[in-house]
Amino acid sequence: MLHIRIETIGEFRVFVDHEFPKSITAVFGPSGSGKSTMLRAITGMEPSRGFIRFDGNEWLNSDSNVFIRPHQRPIGYVRQNAQLFPHLTVQDNLAYPIKYSKRQGENITFDGVVEDFELSSLLSRRTNQVSGGETQRIILARMLLSQPKLLLLDEPLTGLDLQRKAEILPFLESLQTKYHIPTLYVSHAVDEVTALCPHTIVLAAGKVQATGQTPEVLERRDLAELLGGSEPSSIISAKVVGHDSRYHLTKLEVEDRIWSVPMHLPLTLGETTTLRIRARDVSLAKVEPEAISVRNILRGEIVAIDDSESGPSVNCFIQTGQTRIQAQITRASLDELSLRIDDTVFALVKSVTLG
C-alpha cells in the first residue's frame, strides 16, 4: 500500500522507514516527535529525501529525481487546526475540490457526502455561523470530495470537547466502514486510537520506536511514557449481545464467554466494539474465587511475566482462548502465590473502558 523511506531535509530531522497496511494506522508519540512532519513529508509539502510509493506509483524518489507535486498526489490531508475558506459558504467550501481539482473518482458524490455527514441544513451558512464540531465535519466532508485514495489526518479531534469528539467519532469511523480509504491517523489520545485504529506506529525524536497491532503496541510497558503516560492495558474486541436494563448492564460476547459491563446504550445489538482493560484493574487468583463481587472472571494461563521495571509491581500476561489480558500485581503477590509461566490462574477484571 504505502511504503515510505524518508528523511526530512528541514531543521527538524525525521527518519521513517515503514510500510503501512491498507487500513487505518494510528501515528502516536509525544509532541515534537515528528508525527506532523512525517505526514507533511508524505503530502510533499515538507521537503525530504528517500522514496514514497503508493499503490505502485512513485511519489518521491530522490535517487531518480521523481517528485510528484502535492496537489497531484491523491491524498486527503487534514492538517492540525485545519480551517474552511472564510470567503466561501459551507456549500462552496464543499464544492471547491469538485470545481477546481482534476482528481478523478466515481463513488464519492456531493449529495452522498452531504447526506453521510449530515450537512444539508448547514449548506447555506457562512463559515463563521457553524460550530467547531460542525466545522470539523465539513472539513472531513470537503476532504472526501477531493477523491482521495489515502487519508492523512493530523489530530482531527484536537480542540473539541468530549461531547463534540463523541459526535465526530462516528463520522471518522465511517471513513473506514463506508469509504474504505487507508488512513494515517495522528493522535495522542489512547481512546481514539483503540476505537479506530487496528495498527499503530509510535514515533519519538523523529524516529520509529515501535510498530504493530494496536493492542500489542499499547501493552508494551517500555513505551508507556511515550504513549503520553498512558497505562499499560489490554485491548480486546467484543460483540454486543444484549442490554440488561434492570441492572444497567450491557452484555458482551468475547469468544464464547459473556461479559457484563456498565450499560452503554449507543451500542446496538450485534455490533463489534473494543474493550480497554487497564492492567491495574486486573487481579489474579490461583483458585476460582467464590462469593465475590467481581463479575468478569476469566480462566487462563500465564504466558509471560514482565518484571523489567524496578518498582513494586510486575505485569503478567494471561492467555485465555485467543484473548490476552495484562494484569498488574505486586512483586510481593507474585512471590507469595509463586506464580510462574504456564500456571493456570483466574483473572478478575474490575473495570473496563468501552472503545
Footprint on this chain of another protein (rule: CB under 8 A): 43, 45, 69-72, 74-79, 82-83, 85-89, 92, 96-97, 99-103, 126-128, 142-143, 146-147
Type of residue at 88? L
Choice between 1 and 95, CB closer to another protein: 95
In contact, 282 and 327? CB cutoff 8 Å: yes
Helix axes 162-177, 132-144, angle to 10 degrees: 10
H or E element, residue 273: strand 272-278
- Please name the residues in contact with 55: beta carbons below 8 A apart, sequence gap of 6 or more: 1, 2, 149
CB of 284 to another protein, least distance (A): 50
Residue 126 is classified by DSSP as B
At its nearest, how many Å lie between another protein and the CB of residue 148?
8
**172: closest CA among 78, 45, 40?**
78
48 versus 274: smaller Cβ distance to another protein: 48
Work out how close the CB of 77 gets to another protein at its nearest, in angstroms, rounded to a whole number.
Answer: 4
Closer residue to another protein (CB): 67 or 96 = 96
Indicate the residue among 154 and 281 with the shorter CB distance to another protein.
154
- CB contact at 8 A, 24 and 75: no
**Smaller CB separation from another protein, 33 or 127:** 127
CB of 37 to another protein, least distance (A): 14
CA distance 273 to 238: 5
**SS3 category, 228:** coil
List, in sequence order, every residue forming a beta bridge with 67; answer none if it has no partner. Answer: 60
Run of H or E residues at 110: helix 110-116
30 or 105: CB nearest another protein:
105
Strands 24-28 and 199-204: parallel
Q: How far is CA 222 from the centre of its chain?
A: 19
Distance in Å, CB of 234 to another protein, minimum: 37
For the bound state, the minimum distance from the C-beta of residue 192 to another protein, rounded and expressed in Å, comes to 21
Nearer to another protein, 147 or 233 (CB): 147
Amino acid at 120: S
Q: Identify which of residues 97 and 300 has a Cβ nearer to another protein in the complex.
A: 97
Local structure of 140: helix, strand or coil: helix
Please give the torsion angle defined by the CA atoms of residues 177, 140, 112 and 126, in that order, rounded to the nearest 10 degrees: 160
Whole-angstrom Cα Rg for the chain: 23
3-state secondary structure of 123: coil
CB of 3 to another protein, least distance (A): 21
In angstroms, give the least distance from the CB of 135 to another protein.
12
Nearer to another protein, 93 or 230 (CB): 93
Minimum gap (Å) between residue 47 Cβ and another protein? 12
